Amino acid sequence: MAYFCNAYPVLERTEIAEGIFSYVISCPEAAAASKAGQFVHIRAEGYTLRRPISICGIDREKGTLRIVFEVRGGGTDTLSRLKPGDKMDMIAPLGNGFTVKEIPEEKNVVAVGGGIGVPPMLGISAEYKNVKAIIGFRSGDKVILEEDLKRLCAEVTVCTDDGSYGERGVVTNPLEKELEKGSTAMIYACGPTPMLKAVKAAAEKYNIPCELSLEQRMACGVGACVGCACNIKRGGKDLVLRVCKDGPVFKAEEVVL
């Protein structure tokens, strides 16, 4: 699980929705080592702390990683100004990615993403033949990666809180409908905490293995500073683990939200 730290050239930059940027970075050594669900830790010039961004796509042949992030403040704004040809200073890949399982032909996996939690769902969707993606956003203008997911998934359901695009409401309704069919082998989710709680509850109700990708304010990104703590129940013990090194992906049943 080696990681690298280098300034890698940006190949592509696209604003895929207002304030949400997709970057493709040439980093063969890091791409070769990356797994879906891992993250990169990017230096923003003029800022003390790096920005952890989940890996959205891995192209090992081309030696590239794709990331998608939203501008939330000065640091991500600075990152979003990098142009093709500029260098992105990244530590990558970091953390534990999603577990990819062998599943029977007739089974599927469900990938649930909320808002800026959708990008890692693209990564895991590339690992399976039969994926049902359920993605939620505040409104239609915030929808991202729908077309990308359609290329990889058997089904893509889009929900918006205000009903301005796709189904009205949260992802839980279509998720429960899908799980009721009884053909789901595994659930993956990334998104805001209320969504993760609902997905965890649904996974427990239908007794389906589930992995959640967590987010936390982070400093080092490599496990040294113990800044990004999360509460995990494992083997009957209450543990305080590191999102960056022990996660960001955890089994849903272990996560205390």
Partner 1 sequence: MSESVIKCKKDLSVTVAGVKFPNPVIAASGTYGFGQDYTDLYPLNILGGISCKGTTINPKDGNPAPRIAETPAGMLNSVGLQNPGVDVFISEHLPKAKRDGNIIIANIAGATLDDYRAVAEKLEDTDVDMIELNISCPNVKQGGASWGITCDGAATVTKAVRAVTKKPLMVKLTPNVTNITEIAKAAEAEGADCLSLINTLLGMRIDIKTRRPILKNNVGGFSGPAVFPVAVRMVWQVANAVGIDVVGLGGITTAEDAVEMMMAGAKAVQVGTAIFTDPYAPVKIIKGLERYMEENNLNSLEEIVGTVRPW
Nearer to partner 1 (CB atom), residue 178 or residue 254? 254
**What are the angstrom distances between the C-alpha of 174 and each of 9, 142, 194?**
40, 19, 16
- Among the listed residues 10, 11, 16, 49, the single contact to partner 1 using CB under 8 A: 49
Q: Report 70-89 residues binding partner 1 (CB under 8 A).
A: 75, 89
Shorter beta-carbon distance to partner 1: residue 144 or 244: 244
Parallel, antiparallel or unpaired: strands 20-26 and 167-168: unpaired
DSSP, collapsed to helix, strand or coil, labels residue 20 as: strand
Q: Binding string, 236-255, against partner 1, x = CB under 8 A?
A: ----x----x----------
- Give least dist CB 186 to partner 1, A: 27
DSSP structure class, residue 117: G
Which SS3 state, helix, strand or coil, does residue 18 take? Answer: coil
Q: Which stretch binds partner 1 (CB under 8 A): 18-26, 114-122, 166-174, 227-235?
A: 227-235
- Pair of tokens at residue 69: 């992030």
Report the distance separating Cα 188 and Cα 211, nearest Å.
Answer: 5
Angle between helices 172-180 and 193-205 (to 10 degrees): 20
Determine the Cα–Cα distance for residues 23 and 21; give it in Å rounded to an integer. Answer: 7
Output the CA torsion sign for 135, 140, 145, 146: positive
**Position 235 contacts partner 1 (CB under 8 A):** no
Q: How many whole angstroms separate alpha carbon 90 and alpha carbon 52?
A: 9
Query: Side chain identity at 79, as an amino acid letter?
Result: L
Using rule CB under 8 A, residue 91 touches partner 1: yes
Residue 97 within binding range of partner 1, rule CB under 8 A = no
Among 20, 42, 50, 56, binds partner 1 (CB under 8 A): 50
* Shortest reach from residue 209's CB to partner 1, in Å: 26
* Site size for partner 1 (CB under 8 A): 29
Of the pair 7, 204, the CB lying nearest partner 1 is at 7
Query: Does residue 40 belong to the site contacting partner 1 (CB under 8 A)?
Result: no
Site for partner 1 in 198-217 (CB under 8 A): 216-217
The partner residues of 234 in beta bridges, in order of sequence, read 237
Closer residue to partner 1 (CB): 43 or 132: 43
Rule CB under 8 A: is residue 165 a binding residue for partner 1?
A: no
3-state secondary structure of 23: strand
Applying CB under 8 A, among 220, 236, 246, 255 the residue interacting with partner 1 is 220
According to DSSP, residue 255 is labeled: B
Residues that bind partner 1 (CB under 8 A): 2-5, 43, 47-50, 75, 89, 91, 216-230, 240, 245
